[in-house]
Chain A
């Protein structure tokens, strides 16, 4: 008969109404500022830079390779490489970011920077209470604010952090073994060289300096090429410059 469905529905809502007073477990929401639901491990909000140890500057994993800068869909990352180098976790001298800025107002929390980073240097934070009384300041986040310790990363993403830590310890161990083997080989070579005697024992000390991972393609190399052709004439410079500009 017409109306029975309505009565059934009314009974259901009445049960919910009364139940929400008698049974606290029914309530699906929490009273936010006083109570919080612990964030899920995969929750993500905004990237941060991981550093090892206590000194954020010394321990920063980022080597300023700029892959994240290039991959970032909304282009919210700005990196400037350093002029000097500092040793990384296996003692290899690496560049570091002189400037590393992320624009908070542009970032869309897509996590692509995290996925492309080969150094596990950038990870997603779970900090979501970002409101301030300052409307415009603080939107460009600099590297000193972005840097957060590996301990913090372990705390918010325990599973991922454990896996990455294990991998890095393994890498460090391998690097150490390799260094030891190299040193032995070098010592042997030195001994052999000494045995061979003769002058100039130049063992090439710079040989161990490996190339920095993925240096900037283009730009640096191709730029000089264009002016090289240019001297042919002032008018000839114009057609030759578009290919040079196109590579950027």
Chain B
């Protein structure tokens, strides 16, 4: 079983061990063999997810969704999964319109500045046992957030360089949203760092591989602070990757496209790609921090290769995001800010306190159960109280003068 589990690693080592590589090429080749599969797998995943998303949204709305494009010149339809290849060819062959007044260099760089940092974020995620392109034992999580924050820069580059007031306004809205949600996003991950005592994503996953009773792996999501942290993280992640219900920056039905109004052709596709890559990366981080990374839920399921667990969880989370997109309507800008500052931020702070209590309370036997319930109550209380302020109160309308 370890043979299948470690198959990508052994394949890489076998390719590196081939005799005809000169010595000086070895480090470069090793890096390329790590980067290549990551980019290929995620690019393919991006293509498939665009089709699956459209199909799932169609089904949620009782439509069939795209089911036409298959292999050209044949009647093979592949249930519409040729669509993303056709879309890619279409965006590549489309005219690239750049506004005359645009700052051409920045306009050109913005989509690249979006995609490259997101791809860098893929480097530190552990996809399986021993499968991480860049293991940063001291700063893995910090690196992830550091490169993730660079996407905000690219968003503003796009809005500013287009020399279009709507693009600029869209960029400012997007920046306001991203910066507001960056805070709860990072604070919700801090609980994991506090308890794991490490910023390395690899060691965070390894700690979750220890077993609880009945051979259940100690995923962080099984603790009260982990569960709360996971939900807070996912809400903030949805906002950070501009997914519905937080897709205000490019609300298709209300704005043209927000900050990338003036982009067309393949540059537009790069923004699209960057958003999906951002979603995959942040889902991967959520899996790593809360859902046990590449570990199986139960010890006896360790026979299934670790990378299958990781991508299975990733598919599950992406499916959940699609489901959410098909359900929840878009927030208003003030609701967006209220949720970030009046609900998510206090909840993450409460969650940190709960995590500290969890750390110092008794662990084994009955004290463990009491600790679980106490911590859960400590989260549910503030959740209920903070949530009351967010709920819309629609009562009978009172007219002071007219009635």
B64 CB-CB contact with A under 8 Å:
yes
Stretch at the interface among A24-32, A90-98, A103-111: A24-32
On whether A27 and B388 interact (CB within 8 A), knowing A10-B324, A10-B327, A17-B56, the answer reads no
Which residues of A are in contact with B by a Cβ distance under 8 Å? 1-3, 6, 9-10, 12-14, 16-17, 19-21, 26-29, 31
Report whether B384 and A14 are in contact in the complex, using a CB–CB cutoff of 8 Å: no
Q: Which residues of A contact B387 (CB under 8 A)?
A: 1-3
Q: Which residue of chain B has its CB nearest to the CB of A12?
A: B327
Report whether A14 and B323 are in contact in the complex, using a CB–CB cutoff of 8 Å: yes
Contact-residue size bin, chain B (C-beta under 8 Å from the other chain): 20 to 34
Report whether B327 and A21 are in contact in the complex, using a CB–CB cutoff of 8 Å: no
Q: Which of B59, B328, B384 has the most CB of A within 10 A?
A: B59
Report whether B61 and A16 are in contact in the complex, using a CB–CB cutoff of 8 Å: yes
Count of A-B residue pairs with CB < 8 Å: 51
On whether A27 and B60 interact (CB within 8 A), knowing A2-B391, A6-B328, A10-B323, the answer reads no
Q: Which residues of B contact A31 (CB under 8 A)?
A: 64, 67
B390 CB-CB contact with A under 8 Å:
yes
Overall SS of chain A's interface: helix
B63 CB-CB contact with A under 8 Å:
yes
Which residues of B are in contact with A by a Cβ distance under 8 Å? 56, 59-64, 67, 323-324, 326-328, 343, 383-384, 386-388, 390-391
Q: A3-B387, A12-B327, A16-B60 are in contact. List 10 more A-B contacts (CB 8 A).
A: A1-B387, A2-B383, A2-B384, A2-B390, A10-B323, A17-B56, A20-B60, A26-B62, A28-B63, A31-B67
Q: Which residues of A contact B391 (CB under 8 A)?
A: 2
CA distance A29 to B66 in the complex (A): 12
Q: Which residues of B contact A26 (CB under 8 A)?
A: 62
Q: Which residues of A contact B64 (CB under 8 A)?
A: 20, 27, 29, 31
Q: Which residue of chain B has its CB nearest to the CB of A9?
A: B327
Q: Which residues of B contact A27 (CB under 8 A)?
A: 62-64
Q: Which residue of chain B has its CB nearest to the CB of A20?
A: B59
Q: Which residue of chain A has its CB nearest to the CB of B58?
A: A20
Q: Which residues of B contact A10 (CB under 8 A)?
A: 323-324, 327
B70 to chain A, nearest CB (A): 14
CA distance A12 to B324 in the complex (A): 11
Report whether B60 and A13 are in contact in the complex, using a CB–CB cutoff of 8 Å: yes
On whether A6 and B390 interact (CB within 8 A), knowing A16-B60, A17-B56, A28-B63, the answer reads no
B239 to chain A, nearest CB (A): 15
Report whether B327 and A13 are in contact in the complex, using a CB–CB cutoff of 8 Å: yes
Report whether B62 and A13 are in contact in the complex, using a CB–CB cutoff of 8 Å: no
